[in-house]
């Protein structure tokens, strides 16, 4: 039976009427592009339509890249997942935990490396904490990745390491761990070991001078006005020119990022023939890491039927989520609406991009996933 992607195209087109200025998506299987479609505006105010070559801030779609970089180091034996984090980042040796009454107590157990991957270390997502603000001043706004980790270590944990799941700066600390064990600055490491091998020539961690015109205009949806409002080009999660944010720092385009998700769907081997990760490491990434208590914390509506693996959501219960993809399908999303779906069983991958904060993710992402499987 022939594939019919007309329903996916119709859905993507409909998102413009819902208020998303511009969208772009790629579906790949086994290194072959099955479908590619853009709709709407690259720059609505200038009347420029989407072309398909736009750059975007990936925001949290940076996380699967960061986790892949860290897993490369893991499979080279540079650390074990059950190692205490302080063996590599000594500032995390003696952590304080804030209890329900606001008292600071010494943590009973150490942060383990695996807690960084699984968002269970006890960190929060406060990039304006006193310690981070002090680091910004001390580094005169440079904010090196390694110094951010030291600043995060000075703030109390929200809970005992491993006790709960909380979305946080874990993957920014993971980037610092990669720097220490690899001996390379994080952005340089990712370029050499992921972007270059996969032919991701337009992907980077920081805007280059004159690149502004290559970006899709950025918007934020106003619930009050029921309309997308233009906002300045930039990402507040990137603190300075030396902050290679593992959680939110990647800049990419659909063609490039689709190469990455395709490689992950194809056992870690890209269309270039280069391997960036072993099939065994990808298998471990998509194993649910959360226990019963942590699963209650991981309660976002669009994540029904999913657990959380090593830095990615992972499908664990098709019935609970109304999920058409198989158990073990994995990925993540980004604050401006990008969506990653990776299905190693069918060597299938989807990457969808938009550039609008307050992004309608609970509406858009599950529908894209189910429509793609319907089209196949």
The tens digit of pLDDT for each residue in 212-229 reads 999 999 999 999 999 999
pLDDT band for position 237 (50/70/90)? very high
For residue 5, count other CB atoms closer than 10 A to its CB.
19
Q: How far is it, in rounded angstroms, from Cα 135 to Cα 140? A: 8
Q: Check pLDDT > 80 for residue 360.
A: yes
The mean per-residue pLDDT over the stretch 247-272 comes to 98
Average pLDDT over residues 140-148: 97
Confidence of residue 339 (pLDDT cuts 50, 70, 90): very high
CATH at residue 10: 3.40.710.10
Q: What is the pLDDT of residue 335?
A: 97
Gap between the Cα atoms of 240 and 149, Å rounded? 14
Q: What is the pTM of this model?
A: 0.96
User: In the structure, what pLDDT confidence band is assigned to residue 209 with cuts at 50, 70 and 90?
Assistant: confident
285 confidence band (pLDDT: 50, 70, 90): very high
Containing structural domain, residue 59: 1-376
Predicted confidence at residue 1, as pLDDT, reads 52
Region 112-122: mean pLDDT is 98
Model pLDDT, residue 281: 98
Q: How confident is the model over 313-324, as a mean pLDDT?
A: 95
Domains of the chain: total: 1
Distance between CA atoms of 261 and 65, rounded to whole angstroms? 9
Q: Please tell me the predicted confidence (pLDDT) of residue 101.
A: 85
Banded pLDDT at 140 (limits 50, 70, 90):
very high
Residue 86, pLDDT > 90, answer yes
């Amino acid at each position: 039976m022939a594939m019919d992607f007309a329903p996916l195209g119709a859905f993507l087109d409909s998102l413009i009427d819902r208020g998303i200025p511009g969208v772009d998506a790629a579906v790949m299987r086994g290194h072959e592009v099955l479908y590619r479609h853009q709709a709407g505006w690259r720059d609505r105010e200038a009347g420029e339509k989407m072309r398909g070559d736009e750059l975007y801030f990936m925001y949290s779609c940076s996380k699967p890249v960061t986790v892949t970089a860290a897993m490369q180091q893991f499979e080279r034996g540079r650390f074990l997942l059950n190692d205490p984090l302080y063996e590599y980042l000594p500032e995390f040796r003696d952590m304080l935990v804030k209890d329900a009454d606001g008292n600071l107590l010494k943590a009973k157990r150490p942060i383990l490396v695996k807690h960084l991957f699984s968002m269970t270390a006890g960190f929060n997502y406060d990039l304006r904490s006193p310690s981070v603000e002090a680091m910004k001043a001390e580094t005169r706004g440079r904010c090196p990745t390694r110094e951010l980790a030291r600043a995060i270590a000075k703030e109390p944990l929200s809970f005992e390491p491993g006790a709960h799941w909380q979305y946080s700066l874990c993957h920014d600390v993971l980037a610092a761990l990669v720097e220490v064990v690899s001996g390379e600055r994080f952005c340089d490491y990712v370029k050499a070991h992921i972007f270059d091998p996969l032919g991701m020539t337009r992907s980077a961690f920081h805007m280059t001078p004159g690149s502004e015109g290559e970006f899709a205009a950025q918007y934020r949806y106003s619930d009050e006005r029921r309309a997308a409002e233009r906002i300045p080009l930039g990402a507040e999660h990137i603190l300075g020119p030396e902050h290679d944010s593992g959680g939110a720092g990647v800049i990419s385009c659909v063609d490039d990022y689709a190469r990455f998700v395709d490689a992950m769907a194809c056992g870690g081997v890209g269309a270039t023939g280069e391997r960036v990760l072993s099939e065994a490491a990808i298998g471990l990434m998509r194993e649910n890491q959360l226990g019963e208590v942590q699963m209650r914390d991981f309660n976002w509506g669009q994540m029904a039927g999913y657990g959380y693996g090593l830095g990615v959501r992972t499908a664990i219960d098709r019935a609970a989520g109304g999920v058409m993809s198989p158990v073990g399908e994995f990925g993540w999303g980004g604050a401006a609406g990008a969506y990653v779906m990776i299905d190693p069983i069918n060597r299938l991958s989807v990457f969808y991009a938009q550039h609008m904060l307050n992004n309608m993710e609970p509406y858009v992402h599950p529908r894209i996933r189910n429509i793609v499987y319907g089209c196949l």
